[in-house]
């Protein structure tokens, strides 16, 4: 006779498994499991098998195990998981790429009917068209203020109707109508809420960032540091080139306005003393710009002109 383990034995086994996973894996996805069935969860486990483990359980039990394991090992980073264990959540321990695992989890979504009392996760819009229902069902549509007409012995919806808004509770009339129309508006699956990686916790949106996004954000941060440094005259590595240029401009302005001079200012003073030199300096630039079209025209002139074909060459004479 097989002896069933007691509740205490199950708790001990669960605690041992959770502690083992915490020691073995450094990456954890915290996922919401609302309205996810056991068969669906089993399929997710199969899909992630190999480099990931899905662990569900009571929040109080998980918090207690994590807290005791953190005290036992001295790794206080585990405590960052405790505030995340709220609601119907589970843990996915993985050694794979976090973005790939997140995308794999998102594949296992199952369509579900609108049940009475559920909070709608999205807007539900009933499209126009033939419903296939007989005219006796028109009262149903009238209660929900849905414009209809009778077409070939069936009820037809004239315009699209927003039946349920996101965040609203599904009523009995709405649920019954969607069931009659065969519409399963909602889809449920594990939703990644947070990501734990070696003690750091961040939003799953971070996984969608590309290298270009990171470079853009870094450049924006450097620009802000540079602007702040210049505004408060505080030297930083980002602002140093701008400070040197501004200092050079200030010294050059003093040199131009006074008799003081230095090698870099001599040429500027020379140009200011004789403005005609500006035109001389600009002439080579203009010459280079115009050289290309002139050369192209010269090459065009060198090409031999095509010989005109005579009547004989064309195989006939105009006077034949």
Residue 74 in any domain: the answer is yes
**What's the pLDDT score for residue 316?**
40
Using an 8 Å Cβ cutoff, are 203 and 194 in contact?
Answer: yes
Residue 303 in any domain: the answer is no
Residue position matching structure tokens 């009475």: 116
Q: Sheet holding 89-94: strands in order across?
A: 52-56, 89-94, 27-32, 191-197, 200-202
Q: What percent of the chain has pLDDT over 70?
A: 86
State the residue range of the domain holding 127.
118-184
Residue 36 in any domain: the answer is yes
Please indicate, yes or no, whether residues 26 and 89 belong to a single structural domain of this protein.
Answer: yes
Coil vs helix vs strand at 147: coil
Looking up residue 173, the CATH number of its domain turns out to be 3.90.105.20
Residue 199 in any domain: the answer is yes
More confident residue, 29 or 308: 29
Predicted TM-score (pTM) of the model is 0.60
**What's the pLDDT score for residue 292?**
54
pLDDT tens sequence across 65-84: 999 999 998 989 999 999 99
**What's the pLDDT score for residue 314?**
45
Please indicate, yes or no, whether residues 76 and 223 belong to a single structural domain of this protein.
Answer: no
Residue 318 in any domain: the answer is no
Closest listed residue to residue 81, CA positions, set 191, 198, 206, 207: 198
180: CB partners within 8 A, 6+ apart: 131, 133, 137, 140
How far is CA 221 from its chain centroid?
Answer: 19
Residue 159 in any domain: the answer is yes
**What's the pLDDT score for residue 228?**
92
Whether pLDDT at 239 is above 50: yes
Using an 8 Å Cβ cutoff, are 84 and 194 in contact?
Answer: yes
Whether pLDDT at 217 is above 60: yes
pLDDT tens sequence across 92-119: 999 988 988 988 888 888 877 888 888 8
**What's the pLDDT score for residue 295?**
55
Please indicate, yes or no, whether residues 174 and 63 belong to a single structural domain of this protein.
Answer: no
Distance CA 194, CA 209 (A): 15
**What's the pLDDT score for residue 311?**
47
User: Which of 172, 207, 242 is a domain's end point?
Assistant: 207
Mean pLDDT of 23-51: 88
Please indicate, yes or no, whether residues 179 and 142 belong to a single structural domain of this protein.
Answer: yes
90: CB partners within 8 A, 6+ apart: 30, 31, 33, 54, 55, 56, 57, 190
pLDDT tens sequence across 164-174: 888 888 888 88
Token digits of residue 148: 């209809």
Please indicate, yes or no, whether residues 25 and 81 belong to a single structural domain of this protein.
Answer: yes
Please indicate, yes or no, whether residues 200 and 179 belong to a single structural domain of this protein.
Answer: no
Residue 280 in any domain: the answer is no
Closest listed residue to residue 160, CA positions, set 127, 122, 131: 127
Please indicate, yes or no, whether residues 44 and 180 belong to a single structural domain of this protein.
Answer: no
**What's the pLDDT score for residue 112?**
79
Q: How far is CA 309 from CA 131, 301, 305, in A?
A: 76, 21, 12
Please indicate, yes or no, whether residues 180 and 128 belong to a single structural domain of this protein.
Answer: yes
Mean pLDDT of 234-251: 88
């Amino acid at each position: 006779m097989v002896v069933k383990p007691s509740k205490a034995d199950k708790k001990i086994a669960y605690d041992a498994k959770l502690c083992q996973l915490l020691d073995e894996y450094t990456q954890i996805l915290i996922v919401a499991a609302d309205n996810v069935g056991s068969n669906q969860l089993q399929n997710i486990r199969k899909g992630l098998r190999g480099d990931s483990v899905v662990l569900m359980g009571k929040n109080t039990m998980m918090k207690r195990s994590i807290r005791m394991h953190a005290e036992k090992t001295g790794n206080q980073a585990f405590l960052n998981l405790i505030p995340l264990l709220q609601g119907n959540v589970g843990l996915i321990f993985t050694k794979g790429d976090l973005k790939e695992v997140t995308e794999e989890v998102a594949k296992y979504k199952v369509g579900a009917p609108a049940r009475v009392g559920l909070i709608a996760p999205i807007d539900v819009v009933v499209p126009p068209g033939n419903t296939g229902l007989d005219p006796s069902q028109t009262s149903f549509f009238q209660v929900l203020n849905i414009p209809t007409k009778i077409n070939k012995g069936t009820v037809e919806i004239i315009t699209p109707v927003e039946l349920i808004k996101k965040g609203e509770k599904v009523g009995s009339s709405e649920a019954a109508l969607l069931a009659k129309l065969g519409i399963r508006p909602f889809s449920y699956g594990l939703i990644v809420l947070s990501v734990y990686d070696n003690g750091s916790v961040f939003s799953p949106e971070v996984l969608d960032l590309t290298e270009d996004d990171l470079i853009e954000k870094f450049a924006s941060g450097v620009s802000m540091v540079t602007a702040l440094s210049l505004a408060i005259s505080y030297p930083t590595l980002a602002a140093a080139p701008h400070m040197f240029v501004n200092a050079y401009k200030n010294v050059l302005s003093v040199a131009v306005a006074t008799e003081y001079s230095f090698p870099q200012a001599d040429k500027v003073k020379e140009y200011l003393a004789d403005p005609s030199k500006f035109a001389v300096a600009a002439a080579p630039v203009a010459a280079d710009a115009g050289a290309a079209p002139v050369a192209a025209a010269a090459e065009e002139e060198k090409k031999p002109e095509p010989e005109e074909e005579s009547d004989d060459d064309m195989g006939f004479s105009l006077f034949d």
